[in-house]
Amino acid sequence: MKIICIGRNYADHAKELNNDIPEEPLFFMKPDTALLQEGNPFYIPEFTNEVHHELEIVLKISKVGKHIEEKFAHKYYQQIGLGIDFTARDVQRVCKEKGLPWEKAKAFDGSAPLGQFVDKETLGDLSKLSFQLEKNGELVQQGDTSLMLFPFDQLIAHISKYVTLKTGDLIYTGTPAGVGPVQIGDVLVGYLGDEKMIEVPIK
Ligand code: ZN
C-alpha cells in the first residue's frame, strides 16, 4: 500500500504559503509507516517545532490501474474519507530553500492520520463536497471540492501516467487554506459535509 499526496491543489492554500499555482498536479508520497489509523493519537516528533495540520479528502483506490483515462478514473475508487497530511513546516522550509526532497518534513511516522470512509454513492455530487477541520472546537480549515485546481479524476489520470495504482492505495487530494500549527493537548476533528469522519488528539 502506498500513500500519494497532492500538493497545492487549492489556490487559496498555495497563496498562503507563497507558492505558485501549479500547471499540472504536484504529487509526493508517504510510506505505509506514515499511516495513523483512526482512534490513535498523534505524537509530535522531536525534530520539529512546527507541525501543521492539512485536512484533505482521501480516495481509496479499488482496483489496479495504469495509464487510466480521465473519463474512466471514477471506476477506480469507491470510497472517500478524510485524512490529515501532517507537515513539519520548519523542516519543509529548509528542504525547499535547499532544493531538497520533502520526505523528512512529510513522510515521517504517523504523519498520515486516516479517518473513516463512506461509499461515494452516498455523497451526491463529488464536485461539490464540503469539508472542514475544527481545532479544539474552533473552525480552522474549510474546503470544497469545487475549488480544487485538479479534480479527483484528473489526479488519477495524471498520477497513473507515472505510477501504477493498486487496490488499497490512498490519495490525499490536497488541502485548502487555513493550515496551522498543532500543539500538545489539541484535538483535531474533521467533517465531510455534516459527518464527523476523523478525530486526532495531539500528544
Ligand atoms: Zn497536503
What is the per-residue pLDDT for 78? Answer: 98
Q: What are phi and psi of 99, to 5 degrees?
A: 70, 25
Between the CA of 72 and the centroid of ligand 1 the distance, in Å, is: 25
What is the per-residue pLDDT for 20? Answer: 87
What is the per-residue pLDDT for 14? Answer: 84
For residue 190, how many C-alpha atoms fall within 13 Å in the half-sphere facing its CB? 29
For 90-110, b/e burial (b = at least 16 CB within 10 A) is: ebbeebeeeeeebeebbbbeb
User: Could you tell me how many residues make up the chain?
Assistant: 203
Between the CA of 6 and the centroid of ligand 1 the distance, in Å, is: 6
**Interatomic CA distance for residues 113 and 37, integer angstroms:** 6
Between the CA of 10 and the centroid of ligand 1 the distance, in Å, is: 10
192 residue type, one letter? L
**Interatomic CA distance for residues 193 and 203, integer angstroms:** 27
Confidence (pTM): 0.97
Between the CA of 143 and the centroid of ligand 1 the distance, in Å, is: 13
Q: Report domain extents, the chain.
A: 3-201
Between the CA of 121 and the centroid of ligand 1 the distance, in Å, is: 25
Q: Is 28 helix (H, G, I), strand (E, B) or coil?
A: strand
CA dihedral (190, 192, 194, 196) positive or negative: negative
Between the CA of 9 and the centroid of ligand 1 the distance, in Å, is: 9
Between the CA of 28 and the centroid of ligand 1 the distance, in Å, is: 9
The x, y and z cell numbers of residue 189, run together, are: 476533528
**Interatomic CA distance for residues 198 and 132, integer angstroms:** 11
Which CATH architecture is the domain 3-201 placed in?
Alpha-Beta Complex (3.90)
Give yes or no for a contact between 186 and 113, defined as CB atoms under 8 angstroms apart: no
Residue with grid cell 490529515, as numbered in its chain: 84
pLDDT per residue of the chain (203 residues) written in tens, 0 to 9: 999 999 999 999 888 888 888 899 999 999 999 999 999 999 999 999 999 999 999 999 999 999 999 999 999 999 999 999 999 999 999 999 999 999 999 999 999 999 999 999 999 999 999 999 999 999 999 999 999 999 999 999 999 999 999 999 999 999 999 999 999 999 999 999 999 999 999 99
**Measured between alpha carbons, how far is residue 15 from residues 19, 27, 59, 111, 177 in Å?**
6, 18, 25, 23, 8
**Measured between alpha carbons, how far is residue 128 from residues 123, 143, 146 in Å?**
9, 10, 5
Helix (H) or strand (E) holding 83: strand 77-84
